[in-house]
Amino acid sequence: MGNLICPSDFILGTDKRIVVVSITEGPWVIRKHPLLFKFSDIAVINKIDLIDVIDVNIKDMINDAKEINPNIKIITTSAISGENILNLIQTLEI
């Protein structure tokens, strides 16, 4: 449990730690909040359907997350179009 303000490194007995950000938060969101990614198993980068109207390089965001946590699994999604949502569900094993 946590958000961009509250601590996310507390051990809570969870099976997986997941962080969700969107490209609308800007290209710096991962570098600005490294602990969210350092202690997460899965990172979801959402709103990729807006990539044509927002000046963000998703590959840079992925590289930033991997630099912080080389073992993190990254899934890019669009809740609007449904892109990669099935992949996310399978990864979450739900």
Mean per-residue pLDDT of the chain = 89
Q: CA dist 7 to 33, 35, 88, Å?
A: 10, 8, 24
Per-residue pLDDT of 7-39, as tens digits, reads 555 666 667 889 999 999 999 999 999 999 999
Distance, in Å, from the CA atom of 93 to the CA atom of 18, rounded to the nearest integer, reads 13
Give Cβ neighbours of residue 91 (< 8 Å, ≥ 6 apart).
42, 73, 75
Order the strands of the 73-76 sheet from edge to edge: 18-22, 42-46, 73-76
Query: Using the 8-state DSSP alphabet, how is residue 5 labeled?
Result: S
Per-residue pLDDT of 69-78, as tens digits, reads 999 999 999 9
Per-residue model confidence (pLDDT) at position 69:
98
Give Cβ neighbours of residue 16 (< 8 Å, ≥ 6 apart).
41, 42, 92
Residue ranges of domains in the chain: 18-92
Fold of 18-92: Rossmann fold (3.40.50)
pTM for the structure as a whole: 0.85
pLDDT value at 44 more than 50: yes
pLDDT value at 57 more than 70: yes
Per-residue model confidence (pLDDT) at position 32:
94
Helix (H, G, I), strand (E, B) or coil at 46: strand
Per-residue model confidence (pLDDT) at position 1:
45
